[in-house]
Each structure stands twice: as structure tokens, then as C-alpha cells.
Amino acid sequence: MTTINDIVGYGNRSARARMGRPLAWALLALIIVITLLPFVWAIRTALSTNPALLSGEFDFTWGNFKRVIGIASQEEIQESAGRVNTGELNFWTSLRNSVIISTTIAIGQVFFSSMAAYAFARMQFAGRDRIFFIYLSGMMIPPIITLIPNVIFIKNLGLIASLPGIILPFFLMTPFAVFFMRQFFLGVSRSMEEAAMIDGASHFRIFRSITLPMIRPQMITLGVLTYVTAWNEFFWPFVVAPAEESVQPLPVALQVFRTQTPGNSPDWGGLMAGTIITTLPVMVIFAIFGKRIVDSIRFTGIK
């Protein structure tokens, strides 16, 4: 018997579909290959010595990785880089800075934005929706217009070229974080909170003992997104701590490393090892929280 599904499409057996589906799969496969190839090629490059790369060959070595994290012996430097003097990726200091910056921003931003979102979603006060709308408009402000005044402000606070100076603008809130959490609060039943309120609990009490435990999964999702964003941020630390190696996060250190490489015989092995090592923590986070991140895109994009 012919069912509606046979006529219609999904699992379609018509001539068109038999032609179309393998073609579509091939196209999708091609797109996935294009997506992944740069990563594979970077790994291959990082595992080869520079002299071999220059002649289009491959010669296995761990030297590039050892070099960028600063544990290579003189021979390994010579072998992998093809010369004695190479640029230096200030790896351990930058890694420490990146971890401090991203962790602090993620914790602060998620916590304070959740507090604000709680007020916007659960409390009554004059001008509430107007203030929330102004916050939302903040999402539309291109960072370039606030960049120079923010640098001047940080300079006047005496925090230029310091870790607090890099962290501060993202520590208390971003409009996106408040929006994300408020969206979520609106979809959660408030019966538990109302019961607590009838029992005479204060808003602080309710927020701490009922709401926070309930929204933990969403706070983790937002925390992961914030962490990755902070880890990848380049422009702000680049302008606020341009020449201060002791506070630079990894992407800025990578840019410094790139400018040190000689243009006529670039240290491709070292550069690719640096990019892989910079990206690795994000990949680990993605391996653990990938589903959350993918789902959050559906959650924030629509509705």
C-alpha cells in the first residue's frame, strides 16, 4: 500500500530523489572536508621540520611543539626550525593569562548577568521594560565606537597593560548574557518561587536557594560560551596591553610570534604548532560541552 510518506519526500523513492540524494550527500561531504582540511593540514605542518616543508616534503618531528612551549633542546630547535634563532611564543605566561582572563570573565559575567536577568524576568519595578530595551540596544553597538573611550577610562583608572584592565569591561555584564538568561527565566515555571514567596522568603533567599540551583545547566552553557569568547578575544587585549608580554593572552602572543618570523623564510612549523596549541583548550571544551553549544545556537537564534 502506498502511504503518504512514499509519495512525499522523506525516504522518497521517486526517480528525482534517487538522483538527488547521493548528489546532496556528496556535496555535504565536500563541505565537511573543506571545513576540516585546514585543521588537518595545520597538524601535518606542525609535525614536520621546516627545511622539509620548504621543499614540499614531510619529515616528522615533535620539535615545533617543543619549541613553542619552550622545552626544545638546541639540537631540536636546529632540526625543526632549520636555524638556531627562532621567534618565541611566550607560551606558559600567555597560557596562564588566558586561563585567568577567561575564567574570571566567565564567572563574573554569568553570575552578575543572571542576577540582572532575574530582576528583569521576575520582579516588578517602574521602567523595567524600558531599561531592558536599552540593554538590548547595547547589543547593536559596534565595539569600535566604545573602544577608544574604554581605553581612556582604563588608562585613567591606572589599569592599562594589566590583567584587571583586560578583564574589567567584560566582567560585570554583556547585553547578550543578560538577554540569554532572561529568555531562559521566562520559559521556566515560577511556581516554586511563588510558593517560597508566600512563605515569606526574600528575593535574595529565593534567588540563592531556589532559582540558582534550578538554572545551573543554563549557567554552565552561558559560562562555556563566555569562556570561549573571552579565550578568542583579540582586539581588546591587543590595544589595551600592546607591548606588555607579562599580561598578554595567547592570541596576542601568537600575533607577536607571527611578526617575529622572517618574511623570506617563514617558520611555518612553529606558527602552526602555535595555532594548534592556542586552539587546543577550546577544542577540549567543545569535546566536553559540544552538545550544549550546538543547542544554545538554536535557543538564542530563534524565539
Partner 1 sequence: MTLWILIGVTAAGSLYSMTRPPSLDGGWRAAWWFLLPSLIGFLAFFLIPMIRGIYLGFTDWNALSNSGEWIGPDNYTKLIDDAQFWNAMRVTFWYVIWNIGTQTVLAITIAVMMDRLTKSGTVRSLILLPWLIPNLVAGLLFLWLLDPNLGLVNDILGWFGLGPYRFLTSTSGVIPSLALMNTWKFMGYTALLIFAGLQTIPKNLYEAAAIDGATEWQMMRRITIPLMRPVLALVMVVTVVGSFQVFDTALVAGGGIAAGGIGGPVNASKVIYLYIYQNAFVFFDQGYASALASVLLVFLMIITAIQLRLFRANESDLA
Q: Which of residues 218-247 bind partner 1 (CB under 8 A)?
A: 228, 231-235, 239, 242
Angle at 103 between CA 282 and CA 245, to 5 degrees: 85
Minimum CB separation from partner 1 for residue 74, in Å? 26
Q: Any contact of residue 28 with partner 1 (CB under 8 A)?
A: yes
Q: Any contact of residue 11 with partner 1 (CB under 8 A)?
A: no
Using the contact rule CB under 8 A, the part of the chain among 58-66, 67-75, 186-194, 270-278 near partner 1 is: 270-278
Q: Any contact of residue 210 with partner 1 (CB under 8 A)?
A: no
Site string for partner 1, 275-294 (x = CB under 8 A): x--xx--xx--x---xx-xx
Q: Which is nearer to partner 1, 71 or 284 (CB)?
A: 284
CB 51 within 8 A of CB 83: no
Minimum CB separation from partner 1 for residue 183, in Å? 14
CB 176 within 8 A of CB 184: no
Site string for partner 1, 93-132 (x = CB under 8 A): -------------------xx-xx-xx---xxxx-x--x-
Site string for partner 1, 185-204 (x = CB under 8 A): -----------------xxx
Site string for partner 1, 39-78 (x = CB under 8 A): x-xx--x-------xx-x----------------------
Of 82, 93, 153, 260, the residue at the interface with partner 1 (CB under 8 A) is 153
Of 60, 71, 92, 155, the residue at the interface with partner 1 (CB under 8 A) is 155
Residues 6+ apart with CB under 8 A from 219: 110, 114, 181, 212
Of 135, 179, 180, 184, the residue at the interface with partner 1 (CB under 8 A) is 135
Angle at 200 between CA 195 and CA 205, to 5 degrees: 85
Cell of 295: 543547542
Comparing C-alpha atoms, which of 182, 154, 180 is closest to residue 168? 154
Minimum CB separation from partner 1 for residue 116, in Å? 4
Minimum CB separation from partner 1 for residue 130, in Å? 13
Q: What is the DSSP string of 79-97?
A: HHHSSS------HHHHHHH
Of 51, 82, 138, 164, the residue at the interface with partner 1 (CB under 8 A) is 138
Minimum CB separation from partner 1 for residue 233, in Å? 8
Q: Any contact of residue 18 with partner 1 (CB under 8 A)?
A: no
Q: Which is nearer to partner 1, 74 or 243 (CB)?
A: 243
Q: Which is nearer to partner 1, 214 or 239 (CB)?
A: 239
CA distances from 131 to 111, 119, 121, 135, 137 (A): 19, 11, 12, 6, 10
Place of cell 547593536: 140
Of 63, 87, 169, 223, the residue at the interface with partner 1 (CB under 8 A) is 169
